[in-house]
């Protein structure tokens, strides 16, 4: 990047005209200023943390229809033997060697993934050739910033699809109807959201994320027949719940339970057979999202439901085959736009889509992010 010719640092509009009067002082100051051509990045996440966790398909800009095979119930129908009867049985007992077969149908369903169109375009002034060459280079920080925005968008689409309504056999199905499990705020009684009575301080280890809640989530998945013994789960949580778990859970901190020293590493890499993914794509559920007063209490954390500034969010415990991500690679198009002074337009295009495949393979945990509710 060329330095201003003449003038004093910092340069202002009142400095001496560099063409008509350079001046000795300005000439010396010119050499006292150092410039860097490296365009650096500010704080931002550049990689998708979830895109490689789940199954992926190519969308090509079209809605994607998935054909799924559902569970066939086990057991035998009642042939006079009540002990072997199962109410939802699809299999028949072999009561004769030459008996006519009874045919059944393996149940199936379809689910749809609709693409979200993502694009980002930027114009570059042709008079700034040096900056132009830095920006359009494949390894430039301009390009990294654009791809970082795309990857963060992918994570937000995935998190939103985990417990959103999805289209099953042409009809909209909610998370609960799809077999999804929601655990309440209070880890001692996960079926309720009540963590304390009005006027008292909530124990954040109960209403925030804890080992007890994670164990309850694993139990629910096992009861749903969703995981095989030894199968690794994925815990998707916000930095807020990650902090609560590290700061308040005694078992996480105790070497008798956890030899990986998460406090030393500053992160929980493995716990209860789960891989932890900490992402800012998990957002708080509060008034900012609802457009109402900031004093809201999404999970009714106290019995009076006054919700004085309390906020909450979900932590998701999922299997790797519970969600499908539809994703196309980012294409880049470059064109000269005459009516914008022949500037170079660099446009990025892609398609993102995501759908829940099986609600029974997902447990979401209600967690508080503010322990001082009254």
> Which of these ranges, 51-65, 80-94, 324-338, has the smallest mean pLDDT?
80-94
Q: Taking the domains of the chain in order of start, what are their residue ranges? A: 1-35, 39-70+109-374, 72-106
pLDDT of residue 129: 66
pLDDT at residue 293, rounded to an integer = 41
pLDDT surpassing 90 at residue 354: yes
Structure tokens belonging to residue 266: 């500053």
- Which among 86, 131, 107, 74 has a CA at the least distance from the CA of 343? 131
Instruction: Assign 264 a pLDDT band (cuts: 50, 70, 90).
Output: low
Which of these, 239, 298, 249, lies nearest to 271 by C-alpha position? 249
- Asked whether the predicted pLDDT for residue 300 surpasses 80, the reply is no
Q: Would you state the pLDDT for residue 283?
A: 85
pLDDT band at residue 158 using 50, 70 and 90 as cut-offs = very high
Contacts of 207 (CB under 8 A, 6+ apart): 185, 186, 187, 195, 196, 301, 367, 368, 371
Q: What is the pTM of this model?
A: 0.76
Q: Following DSSP, what letter does each residue of 49-103 receive, concatenated? A: SSTTTSEEE--TTS-EEEEEE-PPP-SB--SS-GGGB-TT--------TTPPP--
Higher pLDDT, 240 or 285: 240
Q: What pLDDT sits at residue 5?
A: 44
CA distance 10 to 21: 18
What is the average pLDDT across 113-135? 80
pLDDT band at 4 (very low <50, low <70, confident <90, very high): very low
Residue 179 near residue 358, CB atoms below 8 Å: yes
Inform me whether the pLDDT recorded for 310 exceeds 80: no
DSSP string, 182-235: EE-S-TTSTT----B-TTS---HHHHS--HHHHHHHHHHHHHTT---TTPPEEE
Q: What is the largest CA-CA distance in the chain?
A: 112
Mean pLDDT across the chain: 75
Indicate the burial class of 11 (C-beta count within 10 angstroms; 0-12, 13-18, 19 or more).
middle
């Amino acid at each position: 990047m060329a330095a201003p010719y003449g003038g004093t640092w910092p340069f202002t509009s009142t400095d001496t005209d560099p063409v008509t009067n350079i001046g000795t002082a300005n000439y010396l100051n010119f050499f006292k200023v150092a410039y860097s051509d490296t365009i650096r990045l500010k704080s931002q996440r550049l990689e998708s943390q979830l895109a490689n966790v789940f199954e992926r398909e190519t969308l090509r800009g079209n809605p994607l229809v998935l054909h799924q095979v559902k569970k066939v119930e086990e057991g035998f129908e009642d042939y006079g033997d009540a002990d072997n009867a199962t109410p939802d049985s699809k299999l028949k007992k072999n009561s004769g060697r030459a008996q006519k077969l009874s045919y059944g149908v393996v149940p199936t369903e379809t689910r749809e993934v609709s693409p979200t169109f993502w694009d980002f375009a930027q114009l570059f002034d042709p008079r700034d050739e040096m900056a132009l060459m830095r920006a359009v280079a494949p390894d430039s920080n301009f390009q990294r910033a654009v791809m970082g925005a795309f990857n963060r968008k992918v994570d937000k689409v995935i998190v939103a699809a985990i417990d959103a309504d999805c289209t099953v056999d042409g009809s909209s199905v909610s998370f609960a109807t799809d077999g999804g499990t929601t655990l309440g705020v209070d880890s001692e009684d996960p079926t309720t959201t009540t963590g304390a009575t009005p006027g008292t301080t909530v124990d954040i280890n109960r209403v925030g994320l804890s080992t007890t809640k994670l164990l309850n989530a694993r139990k629910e998945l096992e009861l749903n027949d969703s995981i095989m013994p030894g199968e690794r789960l994925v815990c998707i949580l916000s930095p807020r719940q990650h902090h609560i778990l590290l700061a308040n859970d005694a078992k996480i901190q105790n070497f008798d339970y956890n030899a990986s020293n998460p406090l030393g590493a500053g992160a929980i890499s493995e716990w209860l057979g789960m891989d932890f993914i900490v992402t800012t794509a998990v957002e708080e559920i509060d008034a900012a999202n609802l457009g109402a007063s900031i004093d809201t209490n999404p999970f009714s954390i106290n019995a009076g439901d006054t919700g004085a500034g309390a906020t909450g969010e979900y932590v998701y415990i999922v299997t790797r085959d519970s969600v499908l991500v539809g994703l196309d690679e980012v294409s880049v198009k470059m064109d000269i736009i005459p009516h914008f002074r022949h500037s170079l337009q660099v446009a990025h295009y892609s398609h993102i889509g995501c759908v829940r495949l099986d609600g029974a393979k997902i447990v979401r945990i209600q967690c508080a992010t503010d322990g001082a509710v009254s």
